[in-house]
Structure 1
């Protein structure tokens, strides 16, 4: 196989959750340029991303989906298979941060349940039902979006850290269990990115300056800088990689 073909997604179908904006939209647009047909899923209807895909002459369907709702996840997979006949790639990108960074002893159980429900339960549900379809089809690729917070922990963010740590161990467990079905399951662990979620942090020169001092490359990452790693893990170029958690963090975890 030629090196360029190893990274091709021609003829592949990919589900990208959380694809209305940010990293999910970036991944979707990158995939369509590599030849994939897309299923865009988000709690907010990903219409804008769908328009941009169509402008690139790509093929996609856009679905409003709450990944923490089991029935909606089942319906998402059914629609994907009905439209394309198969699912080759799943990108579990949908997630939320904690709404408040209060001391843990003051964190509400409602907020804990919401963060765990979307970040961990939602990722599990998507893996479960896409995994079943992939087993029947003879293989596939799953890439889960974790974060460095799931490895090092973040003060006043126990729900977020715990949810992403859960995603990492879910990734490893499924990689072992599903290897015999030719399903490869990996994760990426980004650090701070220039997205809507970090606008407040970047707006304060003092806060931003303090955070980038902890990053060897001295800046937040761009969503486009994760695309290469996601493409690697979604393509034949990673045919012998499974159960890996790849940090895309400007060197943060190397310290």
Structure 2
């Protein structure tokens, strides 16, 4: 057979930022493909809602309320996830945030908060899970970056810097860890309909500006991200590592 399996039966995954939005969609998508999922986010109530959906699909879910900026708490969450799963096959570093401040007005606190949430936590969680995957003989990590890591956008200099760093981190970890059977790839979304973008996309002028840069002339829907994520963590992408897959309605074609 030449078509590798896209199924994730028997796989165990961790998804950060899994309480809502993109993280919830990806966690549920992994469960639909057959994986059990450990869910990391700050808000217990949001995690419980995601877990309920996953369990309704007949899969197992573990809720791990933790602030990703808390390294000791994150390490404890990883220990709990490993004990629950036995073997971690998949990690999706999805958690992220932004503060839209002009460069001349960025404060040190804003810089640290965005960097710690978007980049530092993704690296150290990858390091923790990477040790586990190395011992287990392999695994797959997907970092949720952004088109803002590839082209210059009015999303904020700190946010764009973290997303560009995630793309480079993806390449370097793929280079270092390929010999351990660990694959690391990234996804670069454009604008998607989520609770975090609802307010800004309700501005008709802003929305039309986004659509003018999008050949497909629509905003992304959460299901549009699930297929690419399942592909990257499945055996269908077994010979793919160090890559960034842009799910952007064609936005990066323009090279803005």
- Specify the TM-score bucket, using the shorter chain as the normaliser: over 0.9
Matched residue, 2:77: 76
Is the 1:73–1:129 Cα contact (8 Å) retained in structure 2?
no
Is the 2:92–2:143 Cα contact (8 Å) retained in structure 1?
yes
Cα gap change, 1:23 to 1:202, in 2 (>3 Å): same
Normalised TM-score (structure 2)? 0.95
Is the 1:12–1:37 Cα contact (8 Å) retained in structure 2?
yes
Matched residue, 2:93: 92
Matched residue, 1:47: 48
Is the 1:97–1:160 Cα contact (8 Å) retained in structure 2?
yes
Between 1:153-162 and 1:111-120, the stretch displaced more is: 153-162
RMSD: 1.2
Normalised TM-score (structure 1)? 0.96
Shift of 1:156: 5.9
Shift of 1:154: 2.3
Task: Deviation per CA, 1:68-104: give whole Å up to 9, x if none.
Answer: 2211221121111111211000000011112xx3321
SS at match of 2:153: coil
How far, CA to CA, are the matches of 1:202 and 1:148 in structure 2?
17
Aligned positions of 1:205-244 closer than 5 A? 205-244=204-243
Task: Say whether 1:110 aligns with 2:106.
Answer: no
Q: Which runs of 5+ in 2 are unaligned?
A: none
Q: Which runs of 5+ in 1 are unaligned?
A: none
Structure 1 segments of 4+ aligned residues over 3 angstroms from their partners: none
How far, CA to CA, are the matches of 1:151 and 1:68 in structure 2?
25
Is the 2:93–2:143 Cα contact (8 Å) retained in structure 1?
yes
Aligned positions of 1:191-210 closer than 5 A? 191-210=190-209
Aligned length: 252
